[in-house]
A and B are shown apart, each in its own frame.
Chain A
């Protein structure tokens, strides 16, 4: 299985003299996840501004976000190597190294995330998770109430609503930073990360370690990957469905 790709084999710096060839760096489920959650974020923003008619859609977008993030967490354990927590570098040393790489005017050729990229995606997803979770308790004092609004006191709901608004600004800042880094890579480092997230492949120097990774991916097969992704999605969806199902009944008196 995929775990034959050892962490150490991923951490060596690439041999930049090797000939370039397209390598699959992001599996299809991960790419679909990426663009879905990006769309969800934009749509959530628009529906939050658009008025009453869009309240319900905003709510469902929140549920979708929660499902997608749960999927991503599962995928971090059973996805292909570049999606896995265990295959990424998280240490301080790796962070410094990737920071140094970031300011070089040369492509990083990283298979999956750089160490900064790993942390950045954790931060970005955590922000979105906090956003969706606080939304469960939020109210606009007019006609919107998250499903868990009745579970807390009015004061707490008000606090969480405030957090929901504040955190959105943090998300915006994180997204702007994310997009700036993409531009930085494209213009300064001459590496196109966006197309890699669309088509899945990146032109990389052919080295021994990438051959290992590729054969590892071939071992699992496309259908196998998709089947695993579907199972993860089903588990994530079921989890969120249960969470929503257990929401307390709101009490109305009149």
Chain B
């Protein structure tokens, strides 16, 4: 009887443990998802005023663009780090496609393209408005390049 009882409690404890590990896993994925989304939200934040300048809604300011593009360069450089954790199977809402983790190298290459173009935008700000806006277009297209492949269409 006591043996049966011992076995049962062992099974019970083990299952608790498994559940705890699973919960822990899910929590970690959730945090990873929230963090990378936060990173991208900040990236979007730094894009905003440049969009406004490109559309002529606020005055063109090369210094602001240079500063923002510098930060976007840093931020896109962080993308591979923040996407390293495979979150497939997580229950947290995400628009990231699962194929990211089958193509991590390509994903990192796309992040690098964005980073390079952000840096090119910084350089272009000293050449006047035309080249600056052109470089901004190239940066925007690099974001789109990754979204088209790795982000779920809304």
Contact = CB atoms under 8 A, between A and B. Distances in A.
B54 A143 contact: yes
Contacts of A140: 144, 147
Given A142-B147, A252-B49, A252-B58, A158 B154 contact: yes
A141 B43 CA distance: 10
A158 B52 CA distance: 19
A142 B40 CA distance: 10
A52 interface: yes
A161 B68 CA distance: 26
Interface residues of A, number: 18
A250 B44 CA distance: 15
B contacts with A: majority SS: helix
A143 B58 contact: no
A246 interface: no
A254 B68 contact: yes
Given A51-B144, A52-B144, A161-B154, A252 B48 contact: yes
Contacts of B52: 250, 252
B32 interface: no
Interface string A190-215: 00000000000000000000000000
Given A52-B137, A249-B57, A250-B57, A142 B154 contact: no
Contacts of A105: none
A145 to B, nearest CB: 7
A17 interface: no
Contacts of B136: 52, 143
A162 interface: yes
A165 interface: yes
B80 interface: no
Interface in A174-232: none
A165 B48 contact: no
B46 to A, nearest CB: 8
B39 interface: no
Contacts of A252: 48-49, 52, 57-58
Contacts of B78: none
B144 A142 contact: yes
A254 B153 CA distance: 29
Given A51-B144, A52-B141, A141 B44 contact: yes
Contact of A254 (B40, B48, B138, B144): B48
A134 to B, nearest CB: 11
A252 to B, nearest CB: 4
A230 B49 CA distance: 40
B154 A145 contact: no
A253 B45 CA distance: 9
Interface string B53-89: 0110110000010001000000000000000000000
B154 A162 contact: yes
Interface of A: 51-53, 56, 140-143, 145, 158, 161-162, 165, 249-250, 252-254
Interface of B: 40, 44, 47-52, 54-55, 57-58, 64, 68, 136-138, 140-141, 143-144, 147, 153-154
15 contacts: A51-B137, A52-B144, A140-B144, A141-B40, A141-B147, A142-B47, A142-B140, A142-B143, A143-B47, A143-B51, A145-B51, A165-B153, A250-B52, A252-B57, A253-B49
Given A52-B136, A143-B51, A254-B48, 17 more contacts: A52-B138, A53-B137, A56-B55, A140-B144, A142-B44, A142-B140, A142-B144, A142-B147, A143-B50, A143-B54, A143-B136, A143-B143, A165-B154, A249-B57, A250-B57, A252-B58, A254-B68
